[in-house]
Structure 1
Amino acid sequence: MLETTKAITLTGKSTVNNQVVANFTANVYNDDAGSDSFNTFIANKELYDANKKVVRKDSQDFQNLMYEAQDEIADSTKDTEKTE
């Protein structure tokens, strides 16, 4: 029997004046594959300190994308269970 794992990897970046301030990554797995993760890496601390509100907004928007991916995987897992 074929067993598969569905995972979604997301990457993003927060920029100010065309300079990268922070990078974001998220990994979302189906229930059996592991724990989801969300990471933020501050690439430019001076710009981050001067633009925290903007970067935090970008971080929240990115987290919302991760939540959408979690829902997508949960929905696809339910669909697979229905067909088995």
Structure 2
Amino acid sequence: MLESTKSITLTGKSTVNGQVIANFTANVFDDDAGNDTFNTFITNKELYDANKKVVRKDTQDFQNLVYNAQDEIANSADKTADKTNE
């Protein structure tokens, strides 16, 4: 029997004047595959300190993308469960 899982990988970066200040990564898994992860990596501490508001807004925007991906996975799992129960 085939068993499969669905996951979504997201990446992003926070930039100011073309310079990367932070990178974001997230992995969102279906219910049985594992725990979701969300990581922020500051690449330039000086620029981060000078642009915290921008990076924090970008972090929140990225977190919203993660929430959307979690909802997408949950909705997909619900539809699959409904089809197998028919």
Post-superposition shift, 1:26? 0.3
> 1:18-74: per-residue Cα shift (whole Å, max 9, x none)?
000000000000000000000000000000000000000000000000000000000
Correspondence for 2:76: 76
Alpha-carbon separation, structure 1, partners of 2:3 and 2:73? 15
Which amino acid is the alignment partner of residue 40 of structure 1?
A: T
2:5 is paired with a residue of what secondary structure? Answer: coil
Aligned positions of 1:45-64 closer than 5 A? 45-64=45-64
| Greater than 2 Å deviation, 4+ residue runs | none
1:2 is displaced (CA, Å) by: 1.4
CA shift, 1:3, in A, is 1.2
- Output the CA distance in 2 between the equivalents of 1:4 and 1:77: 11
Partner of 1:19: 19
Question: Per the alignment, in what secondary structure is the counterpart of residue 15 of structure 2?
Answer: strand
Instruction: Note the C-alpha offset of 1:75.
Output: 0.1
Hey, what does 1:44 align to over in structure 2? 44
What TM-score do you get using the length of structure 2 for normalisation? 0.97
**CA RMSD, 1 decimal:** 0.4
User: Structure 1 unaligned runs (5+)?
Assistant: none
- Aligned partner of 1:58: which letter? D
Gaps of 5+ in 2: none
TM-score (norm 1): 0.99
Instruction: Give the share of equivalent positions with the same residue, in percent.
Output: 76
